[in-house]
Amino acid sequence: MLNLDCVPISTYCSETGETLDAINKRVQRGVWREGVQVLKVEGVKERWIDLSEVAKWARQSRLNSRAA
* Spatial distance between the Cα atoms of 46 and 8, rounded to a whole number of angstroms: 7
Q: Do the domain assignments include residue 1? A: no
Q: Do the domain assignments include residue 32? A: yes
Confidence (pTM): 0.83
* Spatial distance between the Cα atoms of 23 and 67, rounded to a whole number of angstroms: 25
Residues of the chain with pLDDT under 50: 68
Q: Do the domain assignments include residue 59? A: yes
Q: Do the domain assignments include residue 49? A: yes
Strand partners, 6: 50
Q: Do the domain assignments include residue 38? A: yes
Q: Do the domain assignments include residue 54? A: yes
Of 16, 20, 42, the C-alpha closest to 32 is 20
Provide the number of structural domains found in the chain.
1
Q: What is the pLDDT of residues 7-24, one digit of tens each?
A: 999 999 999 999 999 999
* Structural domain range at position 19: 6-67
Q: What is the CATH number of the domain that holds 50?
A: 1.10.1660
